[in-house]
Structure 1
Amino acid sequence: MSLSFEPILPVPPETVRVAKAAFPKGNPYLTLRDELGPIFGDADFACLFATNGQPAVPPWQLALVTLMQFRENLSDRQAAEAVRSRIDWKYVLGLELTDAGFDFSVLSEFRQRLIEHNASELLLERLLEHCRKVGLIRARGKQRTDSTRVLASIRTLNRLELMAETLRATLNELATVAPAWVQQIALPAWYKRYGQRIEDSRLPEATEKREAYAQIVGADGYYLLDCLAQADMSLKWEALPTVVALKATWDCYYERKVETQSGEQAVRWKTKQELKRAGERIESPYDLEARYRSRADTAWTGYMVHLSETCDDDQCHLITHVVTTPATIHEIDCTPVIHQALINKELAPQEHFVDSAYVDAQLLVSSPKQGITLVGPARPNGSWQSRKHDAFALSQFQVDWQHQQAICPQGKRSTSWVESVDHTGSSYIKVRFYPQDCANCPVRSQCTKVKPGGVRSLKLKPQEEYEALKAARAVHATEAWQQRYKRRAGIEGTISQAVRAFGLRQTRYRGLAKTHLQNLAIAAAMNIDRLINWINGTPRAKTRISRFAALAEA
């Protein structure tokens, strides 16, 4: 496919006439084209196409079709059919009424090109640049961020199903790329054991029989890996996704030992207590990047998506950035990434509203240095003293930074001050008090639960972080801050809209890159909806409540 940089032509007169007659009161896509003009240009996607070969469908049209496809939650076939048959789609794409459109497979090829060239961000960035040019978005305002789960496009498997299905998937992929070799090494029993999806077969129910079946599957997997290691193939089988999954899964769930008497290698299925943490394990051979996570009362396998949007009262609320991560990545690790991305886009906010999962002491110190005020509640101290009203929590100790001492509520000074680094690389200060002071203290039970002879110790953050966290917790308790923080609540409505109207909850694809592309397309499609409403003067809807609940406010 080649790309020729042709100017984006105006809408053909006949298409204009028919469209205006068909939609006399206006149409979202007609408004989009008339008010904002072409959002994308072929030059935006020049890196995706060669300069020679068969001419390609104009990529600016494919990008716009992708956004409209996710705006209406259509499949590739449905989107291609809409290009061929719908007048409003032809209008916004600048096509003749007789234009036959293109084959639906072009859309998946376009998405693949975006992923291969790390250009998925263009779907959202070019729209934001266009909005900035026409004055619909600006930097140094207010923005808010929140996250939600995205379910992977896989079936949840138990341990036994995962073992057998991973081996079956590996055999299927090898049978596709090296069928003759698979025929040579495949055991006769494999065709019955792995010939159909494991979920469709009847697995043993008794514990002893399930363990025996797991041993058989484990031995089959190691036999296949041994055969691959000895195979003389030009194929780089180590890089095949299912082989990667097979190796990782077998290392996690099985142990291979050499029997001293016979000299043979025995396979042992590990107990649950010996396994890695759930978030570190592969959950399916068909999506190696999907991870398991539980949060509060919710558990899922898949990803996390973080949406950031503007929230100034006098501006259109537009999504400015999207971050997609495996489910195991915590929100706190995404805050600096989001800040740097918004700075790079020249859309950094002056105030950034987030919940407590995005806030820690380091960010309270570093964010203002980037010109960003992080507005969010700092997580409370998790010690038992902070949860008991008459106990002495860390906040009741005075810290003399100049003399490197801490003073307890009874006026006793610490005797030890040691700076160290924890397993995450964060600096901290370990403070200990004199044993005799703690042993004779009349309120010892309100301060520490260590055994007699032990002393109270404190773990302090570095001074700048400690004071920033203390000040933040103090201001968060004020009524003025609580009123200010109410602005963050709007992002929950954005996530609800993305999940209920745009299909954000479930990814259509497998893999982090494709899931991220879907999330970007959904965010851009939501922006199109908001831009159209802003242009038409449609007010933002308030949160709906039932008629009965409304009586309480009457």
Structure 2
Amino acid sequence: MELDDPRFHHSVLADFRDRLTEDGRADRLLDLALARLKEAGLVRERTTQRADSTHVLAAVRDLTRLELITEAVRAALQEVAGASPHLLDGLIGEDWGLRYGRPVRLGKNPTKPKTRILATGNDAVRLLEHLYRHGTDRTSGPRIQALRQIMVRNYHRDAAGHLRWRTAETEGGPGLPPSSRAVVSPYGNSARYAVRSGVEGTVNEFAHGHGMRRCRYRGQSKAHVQHVLTTIAINIERLSGLPPTEKAPPSRRPTAFQSYLDRCGISRPKSWRTLGT
């Protein structure tokens, strides 16, 4: 193509799409492409194919730094309680059950953040030192190692040896590690990848089954009301499709650390996910 070539008109692509919609040409083109893929061995018959679903990095929301360290302590306690629960004897008290008895949900503005930061950091140090004193072979688990890394990246010792929360250098602190080396989950790579096919199915139901791509009225508040009412309608539609003898889903079983707290008679907060256990 020469430099002074006028090139194609901007409407050519729209015309091409219109021609594909005539006489089922799009379906014939798709069938031809599928046949070529089968011949190349890229697609097999009668197999499950992932279509219209998003491959995301993690099926969990991002944790704040305080939530991360709290969840890391809880994950380490779960690991120890599942492998050698006797190692927790003499360490766990009532306050531990209240802080780590269920998954942490603090939000962006928790109450008494400085108190929580110091309490959680001291708990992590006590746990790691306690495990070290009772056998080095028990401190090599992946969640224990993740807790060590998270502690190094979020705490430091001052000149007097006291545990302090890491802050940026612009705030007068020792600085934070680069984001490329940050640990975002105490559960390692197993919790990083998931396929959100269920979410995509729900979005498709909203968009194509209930016309949620367009709002009837203008304004954010009116659009919000439409979304809420549509969600209620979808839930009613799904409930009406269940058989009358459908039993309620079973409650979630207690975790290893929660079972340890129950055996020791240590109270722990109950959430709606663990009621009835």
Query: Normalized against structure 2, the TM-score is what?
Result: 0.47
Q: Which has the larger radius of gyration?
A: 1
Higher helix share: 2
Between Structure 1 and Structure 2, which shows a larger proportion of strand residues?
A: 1
Return the structure number with greater relative CO, CA threshold 8 A, min gap 6. Answer: 2
